[in-house]
């Protein structure tokens, strides 16, 4: 299985989650992690699964992710297994919004085969000196991302034919 994890990130948290998802996917095959800035209007290679994520900002996707998804060639994801994810505060979704939901909607619009609901990974935010904002992942989120990546790989792993005379 060949997977591509595409992300955008503000503070490095979404990138860390993307890397952790790829680690889980690598339990079943190859996985490459790319920033949206490194991907053009077409995927750089054939993939069995594309995972796309970004931070939630103003209840939705960040401008770089919106722009990249808008630049995709019309059939770039058609029929391809895909799923979205985001990083956001652990607030009710109606309050925080979810970039993952917008990503999933766009995946459906492009004809991708969405194999799982969007997943959110949670951050905690703080205001530093001078009003600068920082955010860090909540404890356990990287481990959860690895497990989620492996679960996605399991959804795509081909089922070996049963041996003659065996029961399934």
Whichever domain contains 77, its CATH number is 3.40.50.360
- Structural domain contains residue 53: yes
HEC profile of 52-97: EEEECECEECCHHHHHHHHHCCCCCCCCCEEEEEEEEECCCHHHHE
Is the pLDDT at 159 greater than 70? The verdict is no
Pairwise CA distance, residues 93 & 58, whole Å: 12
Closest Cα partner for 133 from 89, 100, 102? 89
| pLDDT tens digits, one per residue of 44-81 | 778 999 999 999 988 889 999 999 999 988 788 999 99
Cα 102 from Cα 90, distance rounded (Å):
18
Does the reported pTM lie above 0.75?
A: yes
95-151 confidence digits (pLDDT tens): 678 999 999 999 999 899 999 999 999 998 754 445 556 788 999 999 999 999 999
Cα 17 off chain centre by: 8
Host domain of residue 36: 2-156
Q: Using CA atoms, how far apart are residues 75 and 42, in angstroms rounded to an integer?
A: 9
Query: How many domains, in total, are found in the chain?
Result: 1
Whether 39 maps to a domain, the answer reads yes
């Amino acid at each position: 299985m060949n997977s591509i994890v595409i992300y955008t990130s503000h503070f490095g948290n979404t990138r860390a989650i993307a890397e952790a998802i790829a680690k889980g996917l690598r339990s079943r095959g190859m996985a490459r992690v790319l920033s949206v800035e490194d991907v053009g209007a077409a995927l750089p290679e054939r993939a069995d699964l594309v995972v796309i994520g970004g931070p939630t900002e103003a209840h939705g996707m960040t401008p770089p992710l919106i722009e990249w998804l808008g630049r995709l060639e019309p059939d770039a994801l058609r029929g391809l297994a895909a799923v979205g994810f985001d990083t956001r505060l652990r607030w009710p979704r109606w309050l925080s919004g979810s970039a993952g939901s917008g990503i999933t909607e766009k995946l459906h619009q492009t004809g991708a085969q969405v194999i799982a609901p969007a997943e959110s990974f949670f951050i905690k935010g703080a205001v530093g000196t001078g009003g600068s904002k920082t955010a860090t992942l909540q404890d356990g989120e990287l481990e959860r991302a690895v497990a989620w990546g492996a679960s996605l790989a399991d959804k795509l792993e081909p089922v070996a034919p049963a041996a003659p005379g065996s029961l399934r």
